[in-house]
Amino acid sequence: MTRHLRKMPLTALFGFAVIFTYACVAIFAPLIAPYPETAIVGPEYMPWSDEFLLGTDSLGRDMLSRLIYAARNTLGIAIATTLIAFILGCSAALFAATMQGWVDQVISRIVDVMMSIPTLITSLLLLTIFGTSVLNLILIIALLYSTVVFRIARAVAMGIVVMDYVEAARIRGEGMFWIMFREVLPNAATPLVAEFGLRFTFVFLTVSALSFLGLGVQPPLADWGAMVRENASLITFGDLTPLLPAGAIALLTLAVNFIVDWMLHVASGLKE
Amino acid sequence: MHAVLKMVVQRVALGVLTLLVVSALVFISVEFLPGDVAEQILGQSATPETLAALRDQLGLNTPPVERYFDWLGGILQGDFGQSVISQRPITELLAQRLGNTLSLALLATLISVPLAVGLGILAALKRNTWVDRTINIGTLTAISFPEYFVAYGLILVFSVKLGWFPSISIVSGTVTFAERIHLTLLPSLTLTMIVTAHMMRMTRASIINLLALPYVEMARLKGASQRRVVVVHALPNAIAPIVNVIALNIAYMIAGVVIVEVVFVYPGLGQLLVDSVAKRDVTVVQAACLIFASAFIIFNLVADVISIVSNPRLLHRK
């Protein structure tokens, strides 16, 4: 492992540095931010100045402070969503792989149908029906992404349930939950960790896209996607400010992708 | 040939079945609304009498199964029902917007496919050189960028700083073909940026996989040049996977179209969908979702059929 770490390419190193910075900003947001998250501290659309480093937004709230607090909200929602998606998807996959037969068939066909519609379209339909709130957003996106996790986890678990030690556990008379979580899961964990990073970027982009469309995180909470929308009109005056929250999203996704790319490269045995 | 035909027919039948199931799901989802469509239209203050009258008028008193077949039958004849909010027929709302969205997607496809296949072949030819690494980092970057970041970036450069293109693309019925291209180019370029990276990576990967096969080594041993090996020997066998990726990405463009249309205020289907979700205009959301989902399923179906037809080896697997 240390051999791989020492040979880590610059891109992956850059990725880790970016993620570390984002984590610090999110955790210490109240200490770093010069103003509170939702307080109106000046006139609307102030240009960059010493008082407001990145100016103010469409309501006169400090742009920099909102960018910093948004790291908390946006990342928190994306991480929670990805976690729920993984718990749902992996449990269903382990269940399907352990039970096999009709249980596996039924779950797999349901997943096939759910995956036959683009995620953004399904989430728009579901948000219309259940209404837009942060909780609905997290649950809907988690449910939709759990289908992808299910497919991958099922493929991995299917290779493990045929192993002798699983057969031995079955003969020993262990229950289904024991086999799912004590025999199959520990051996499926490694490939699933790499997958987590990749899924996180997709979830993160979808949540931000919905917030950008005004259907995700609702004001006055700060969110990068929503901030782009709120301040978009500044672009036509040649002001860079609306690109900053969008850039924050782009930079983090890029960082995670660089790391995943490197991990896949290492996992493939460093073959060229 | 019979075997190929059988596979194609099976795949098409499966596609039609998926379409039916998805249409049923889109229909059923509205049944989960708190209250029903009549309550949505009339709002909180409606009296029980008016509610009952509207339910009767909309046919909400018939069983759901019957209403589903009425709805589906109507759609097959081009009648999507009526908007809950504006009371206008949905077909009228959809007609021009569908054309706008299709022309946007078509222009983006015409730019991105040759670009992606060309870059993919180039990266495969120059594998492990700086050209390949630059293209790799470039495509990873493009994949990571959210659509609206690319869109606003392009607006800032090409419409605000350079003034070449308008920053909003309002296409009305009276524009000429040249004007339409001029208005649609910036949104198309945004879509191109989003899908090209993925297509290009898959093109490179499928060519590189083929380069490891014995028949390619044979061609090398004959003394064929690298260019000839890639273009004449590897490329024909890579067509099936590449076509597959192209169809998948056109399907993937569907999600991108929604956001790009919102950024450029482009009067397409995606913008209609987002507006209707915000207004909770259930019937319009239903119709738009069904169209997007059908397009997605049909593109996947076409991709599968092409890869079956263009690759006889698929028949002899197992």
Regarding whether B293 and B179 lie in a shared domain, the answer is yes
Is A43 within a domain? no
**Low-confidence residues of chain B: pLDDT under 50:** 318
Regarding whether B177 and B50 lie in a shared domain, the answer is no
Q: How far is B277 from chain A (nearest CA, A)?
A: 5
Question: Where among B15, B41, B76 does a domain terminate?
Answer: B76
Please give the tally of structural domains in chain B: 2
Please give the tally of structural domains in chain A: 1
Regarding whether B190 and B105 lie in a shared domain, the answer is yes
Which residues, in sequence order, are CB contacts of B272 under 8 Å at separation 6+? B93, B94, B97, B284, B288
Upstream peptide bond of A220 is cis (omega within 30 degrees of 0): yes
Which ipTM was obtained for this model?
0.81
Residue window 274-293, chain B: list those with CB within 8 Å of chain A.
274, 276-278, 280, 282, 285-286, 289, 292-293
DSSP-derived secondary structure for chain A = -HHHHHT--HHHHHHHHHHHHHHHHHHTHHHH-SS-SS-B-SSTTPPS-SSSTT-B-TTSBBHHHHHHHHHHHHHHHHHHHHHHHHHHHHHHHHHHHHH-HHHHHHHHHHHHHHHTS-HHHHHHHHHHHH---HHHHHHHHHHHHHHHHHHHHHHHHHHHHTSHHHHHHHHHT--HHHIIIIIIHHHHHHHHHHHHHHHHHHHHHHHHHHHHTTSSSPTTS--HHHHHHHHGGGGGGT--TTHHHHHHHHHHHHHHHHHHHHHHHHHTTT--
Is A176 within a domain? yes
Q: Name the 3-class secondary structure at A133.
A: coil
Task: Please indicate whether, in this complex, the C-beta atoms of A242 and B152 are within 8 angstroms of each other.
Answer: yes
- Residues in chain A closer than 8 A to B156 (CB atoms): 235, 238, 240, 243
**Digit-coded pLDDT (tens) for B94-107:** 888 888 888 888 88
Regarding whether B233 and B117 lie in a shared domain, the answer is yes
Instruction: Give me the helix-helix angle, B2-31 and A119-130, nearest 10°.
Output: 20
Is B83 within a domain? no
Is A51 within a domain? no
Regarding whether B140 and B286 lie in a shared domain, the answer is yes
State how far the Cα of A178 lies from the Cα of A158, in Å rounded to an integer.
16
Q: What is the pLDDT of residue A271?
A: 43
pTM of the model: 0.83
| Chosen from B139, B149, B284 to mutate, greatest number of chain A CBs within 10 A | B149
Task: Please indicate whether, in this complex, the C-beta atoms of B277 and A121 are within 8 angstroms of each other.
Answer: no
Q: Name the 3-class secondary structure at B89.
A: strand
- Is the predicted pLDDT of residue A148 greater than 80, yes or no? yes
Regarding whether B167 and B60 lie in a shared domain, the answer is no
Question: Where among B26, B46, B76 does a domain terminate?
Answer: B76
Regarding whether B104 and B128 lie in a shared domain, the answer is yes
Question: Where among B26, B48, B76 does a domain terminate?
Answer: B76
Domain that holds residue B17: 3-76
Task: Please indicate whether, in this complex, the C-beta atoms of A253 and B145 are within 8 angstroms of each other.
Answer: yes
Q: What is the pLDDT of residue B71?
A: 84
Q: How far is A14 from chain B (nearest CA, A)?
A: 13
Q: How far is B144 from chain A (nearest CA, A)?
A: 5
> Average pLDDT, stretch A181-185?
84
Give the CATH number for residue B252.
1.10.3720.10
Which one, of B314, B124, B129, lies nearest residue B212 by Cα?
B124
Contact A75, A64 (CB under 8 A): no
Regarding whether B178 and B97 lie in a shared domain, the answer is yes
**Digit-coded pLDDT (tens) for A233-267:** 887 777 788 888 888 999 999 898 888 888 777 76
Is B84 within a domain? no
Give the pLDDT band of residue A85 (cuts 50, 70, 90). very high
Give the CATH number for residue A11.
1.10.3720.10
Is B162 within a domain? yes
**Digit-coded pLDDT (tens) for A7-30:** 778 888 898 999 999 999 888 888
Q: What is the pLDDT of residue B307?
A: 76
| Nearest by CB: B277 against A127, A258, A261 | A127
Domain that holds residue A172: 2-36+56-268
Q: What is the pLDDT of residue A139?
A: 93
The residue of chain B with its CA nearest to that of A112 is B18
Q: How many Cβ contacts (< 8 angstroms) between chains A and B?
A: 135
Regarding whether B258 and B129 lie in a shared domain, the answer is yes
Is B279 within a domain? yes
Regarding whether B310 and B187 lie in a shared domain, the answer is yes
| Nearest by CB: B137 against A11, A113, A116 | A11
Q: Is B156 on the interface with A (CB under 8 A)?
A: yes
Task: Please indicate whether, in this complex, the C-beta atoms of A205 and B146 are within 8 angstroms of each other.
Answer: yes
Is A42 within a domain? no
Q: Which of A12-16, A56-60, A129-133, B314-318 has the highest mean pLDDT?
A: A12-16
- Residues in chain A closer than 8 A to B155 (CB atoms): 235-236
Regarding whether B186 and B69 lie in a shared domain, the answer is no
Q: What is the pLDDT of residue A194?
A: 72
**Digit-coded pLDDT (tens) for A200-245:** 988 998 999 998 888 888 878 888 888 888 888 887 777 788 888 8
Q: What is the pLDDT of residue A243?
A: 87
Is B81 within a domain? no
Between A108-117, A184-193, A253-262, the lowest mean confidence (pLDDT) is in A184-193
- Is the predicted pLDDT of residue A272 greater than 50, yes or no? no
Q: Name the 3-class secondary structure at A259.
A: helix
- Is the predicted pLDDT of residue A270 greater than 50, yes or no? no
Task: Please indicate whether, in this complex, the C-beta atoms of B254 and A261 are within 8 angstroms of each other.
Answer: no
- Is the predicted pLDDT of residue A170 greater than 70, yes or no? yes
Regarding whether B68 and B141 lie in a shared domain, the answer is no
Is A181 within a domain? yes
Q: Name the 3-class secondary structure at B162.
A: coil
- Is the predicted pLDDT of residue A83 greater than 90, yes or no? yes
Is A44 within a domain? no
C-alpha separations of A187 from A46, A95, A165, A167, A195 in Å: 55, 15, 11, 14, 15
